Amino acid sequence: MGNKIFYFTGTGNSIAIAKTLADSLGDTELIPMASAMHGDINIRGERIGLVFPVYAWGMPRLVVDFARHLKPEAGQYVFAVTTCGGTLGKTLVQLDKALQLNGSKLNAGFAVRGSFLISLEGSNEEGLINFMSWLGRKTTPDEAENRLPEIARIVKTKGSHKPETSNASVNVIGSMLYGFGLRMFQKMDKNLSATDACVSCGTCVRVCPRENVSIENGRPVWHQDCESCYACVAWCPQHAIVFNGKAPKLPAHHPDVSVADVMLR
């Protein structure tokens, strides 16, 4: 019957995790969430997995949209792995509630720290992120490479695993900041621009999960429906896309993931 893992990734962490799990489970199809929502979501499979990053201590907008459209069959095993830099908040609890609205549930929910984090020198969010990481230091998830063998064993046996969360302080503050954070992220592309190194190759258009980028007069243009995944920044082959005028520190994406893995169109 096979398995399906749906993923959302910007810089490659989630797809690297999804690939590792697929190799462990066997007979597993990997599907980008952004592509799956163009029509009915095919959920036929013995196990359904979701792999995605934490944004503002909750689910990214795209994952919220995906969860609303996902309607697992009765009794179908559903698991999720979310990746974060340090604090996940109530992300997996939020996902479980979204699935329950569709008559399903999250059978197992895990949080890991991804092995790659893009460094944007023009970002001003580090102070808050560092504070929340300090606040949740006792519930910081372990690194993905350490947890994935355990996660694969639980998923193979269709075991139950309560959705993991941060501590109460992070959960409360993170829930308060979540809605504001997503609204801010949607307009974050106002900080993006292309330098003269741009060759109009269109990679930024093809990797954008929200189809928020177009090429006009030979340069990328963003349309204020940003996911803040920074895929356009991370995968530009010329490193021509900058944030607040500054290029990201290299490497800009997960070393084990190629641009072909993240192409959506």
- What is the set of domains in the chain, with CATH numbers? 3-184 (3.40.50.360), 186-262 (3.30.70.20)
Picking from 257, 21, 13, 49, the residue whose alpha carbon sits closest to that of residue 148 is 21
Integer CA distances (angstroms), 156 to 75, 149, 160, in order: 16, 11, 11
pLDDT, tens digit, 9 for 90 and up, residues 192-216: 999 999 999 999 999 999 999 999 9
Q: What is the mean pLDDT of the chain?
A: 92
- Separation of alpha carbons 265 and 258, rounded Å: 15
DSSP 107-157: SEEEEEE-S-----TT---HHHHHHHHHHTGGGPPPBHHHHHHHHHHHHHT
Q: What is the mean pLDDT of residues 3-8?
A: 96
DSSP 57-113: TB--HHHHHHHHH--PPTT-EEEEEEEESS--TTHHHHHHHHHHHTT---SEEEEEE
pLDDT, tens digit, 9 for 90 and up, residues 51-96: 999 999 999 999 999 999 998 888 899 999 999 988 899 999 999 9
DSSP 215-233: EETTEEEE-S------HHH
pLDDT at 239 over 80: yes
- Separation of alpha carbons 73 and 75, rounded Å: 6
Q: What is the mean pLDDT of residues 33-45?
A: 82
Predicted TM-score (pTM) of this structure: 0.95
